[in-house]
Amino acid sequence: MSVEPYQIRVLAVDDHPIVRQGIASLVGIQTDMVLVGEASNGRDAVQQFRNLMPDVTLLDLRMPEMTGLDALIAIRKDIPNARIIVLTTYAGDMQILRALKAGAQAYLLKNTLHTDLMQTIRAVHAGRKALSPEATYEIAEHATDDVLSPAEVLVLRLIAAGNANKDIADSLSIAEETVKSRVKSILSKLGANDRTHAAMIGLKRGIIEL
Amino acid sequence: MSVEPYQIRVLAVDDHPIVRQGIASLVGIQTDMVLVGEASNGRDAVQQFRNLMPDVTLLDLRMPEMTGLDALIAIRKDIPNARIIVLTTYAGDMQILRALKAGAQAYLLKNTLHTDLMQTIRAVHAGRKALSPEATYEIAEHATDDVLSPAEVLVLRLIAAGNANKDIADSLSIAEETVKSRVKSILSKLGANDRTHAAMIGLKRGIIEL
DNA sequence: GAACGCAAAACCCGAATGGGGGTTTTCGCG
DNA sequence: CGCGAAAACCCCCATTCGGGTTTTGCGTTC
């Protein structure tokens, strides 16, 4: 039995055991990779990364305890050249952009084929970057759109929670009229008919979470 | 090498190759099960079920081409005693209830542990039923709630799409006043502050889809 | 320190919303 | 066939929403 001299050391982070099992099984088949660890939430992911120093990390975004995005940020703060592939179900353009800005080398959807996933691991390990077609499309789709300001995102979140402008004003300690101008701006930037539409678009695009 | 005389024949349906790989790998380890087929959408699932007649089917709900729920209904129409385990990410009570009404024997979330999943396959094959704790909780949580009528669900969908009452009236060919009374009823049944809140609750509870 | 840019705040106002009633019509089911 | 429950339609009315416009205030830049 020959031992591979150079193997890519992979860390898998996902809150679904079945997905981790799938990754483990796929990586196990490859002769040039080895799975060195698993984590089921963001906190564990950061911990595991520190301990294991993997070459490539597969990271889901939606997780309990600590978001994949927060884990990504924490890891890259520790080790700025960490190689991380975001592997998730969801493709809102804002979600993708934030992950890339936080230093992800690749963004793949879970409907990616086995072979593409393995190729991406090798590519990222070699220092290249990758985006799934859907991710590319989503970003291109909204490339020319105005981006919501942090203040506007706050208002949008409160809108989605079912608050009236007055309530939003109170909980943000600003004038109701200010809220109204922000709402107007949100509707215009998102191309929404009304606040309900805006909330749904915000969800679809990964600007707010359910 | 001994051949197991009685193996549970399993069909895996999920649009994520990685998840199917995980199931394949887990089922492969068990001596009393064998994976006989896979499908990546609802249409294929129905097809595969007819061809293979598996003992137990693992079925995701969110899939392209044809919903898992529709596939479930189609399969149970063909073979009324088909044993199907819904294995999905999402736990809105309405989604769960519809799956159970359509004849699913079990409803598991993907964060289920390996061992629990395997046990559930055996249990369902033996004719028993199973619900994940989260599913049970969701159902109990809303057990006493009034259920939206089909007409109300239609209106809620159009609300979420950003339509005004007048537009909803037009596209459903009913009077605006009718729409208004349905909206009132929806808000009351869901305990929502306004239509936006209602749309978000509808999403959370699996009454409408994004 | 003048000019600029921009978020916050203010005002107006017509239209949409949602909370109260209510009546008629339809339909499923015993 | 009739009963009861939905669904559909209707009216009133206070409030909220969303569009347009303007003013204030504050920091930046030149």
Tell me the per-residue pLDDT of A92-107, one tens digit each, with 9 for 90 and over: 999 999 999 999 999 9
Q: Which of B196, B197, B205 to mutate to test the interface with A (most CBs of A within 10 A)?
A: B196
Question: Do residues B110 and B87 lie in contact, with contact meaning Cβ atoms separated by under 8 Å?
Answer: yes
How many CB contacts within 8 angstroms connect chain A with chain B? Answer: 109
The whole-number Å distance from B140's CA to D15's C1' is: 36
Q: Taking CA atoms, what residue in A is nearest to B16?
A: A111
More confident residue, A1 or A20: A20
| CA distances (Å), origin B2, targets A20, B5, B31, B32, B175 | 30, 9, 10, 12, 71
Average pLDDT, chain B: 94
pLDDT of B2 > 60? The answer is no
pLDDT of B200 > 90? The answer is yes
pLDDT tens figures, B76-133 = 999 999 999 999 998 789 999 999 989 999 999 999 999 999 999 999 999 999 999 9
| A204 with B210: Cβ contact below 8 A | yes
Q: What token pair was written down for A25?
A: 């099984």
Minimum CA–C1' distance nucleotide for B193: C18
The whole-number Å distance from B195's CA to D14's C1' is: 18
Please report which confidence band the pLDDT of residue B146 belongs to, taking 50, 70 and 90 as the band edges: confident
How far is A45 from A68, CA to CA, in rounded Å? 8
| A18 with B23: Cβ contact below 8 A | yes
User: Which residue matches tokens 């704790």?
Assistant: B133
The pLDDT value recorded for residue B124 is 97
How far is A55 from A39, CA to CA, in rounded Å? 15
The whole-number Å distance from A154's CA to C9's C1' is: 18
Domain segments of chain A as ranges: 8-141, 150-204
More confident residue, A6 or A63: A63
> Is some CB atom of chain A closer than 8 A to the CB atom of B150?
no
Question: Residue A57: in which H helix or E strand, if any?
Answer: strand A56-59
pLDDT tens figures, A137-192 = 999 999 988 899 999 999 999 999 999 999 999 999 999 999 999 999 999 999 99
> CA triplet B57, B33, B25: central angle to 5 degrees?
85
For the structural domain made of B150-204, what CATH number should be given? 1.10.10.10
* Strand C bases within 7 angstroms of protein beta carbons: 7-11, 16-22
Q: Which CATH class is domain A8-141?
A: alpha beta
Q: What is the mean pLDDT of residues A68-89?
A: 96
> Is some CB atom of chain A closer than 8 A to the CB atom of B162?
yes
Closest to B107 measured CA to CA, from B93, B206, B28, A64: B93
Residues of chain B (106-145) having a beta carbon less than 7 angstroms from strand C:
none
The whole-number Å distance from A182's CA to C7's C1' is: 10
Closest to B17 (Cβ–Cβ): which among A114, A197, A199?
A114
| B163 with A193: Cβ contact below 8 A | yes
Give the number of residues written for chain A: 210
Q: What is the mean pLDDT of residues B25-44?
A: 96
Q: Which CATH class is domain B8-140?
A: alpha beta
Question: Which B residues 96-135 touch A at CB under 8 Å?
Answer: 110-114, 117
Closest to B44 measured CA to CA, from B17, B75, B76, B88: B75
Question: Residue A84: in which H helix or E strand, if any?
Answer: strand A84-88
How far off is chain B from A85, nearest CA to CA, in Å?
A: 15
* Beta-strand relationship, A56-59 and A33-39: unpaired
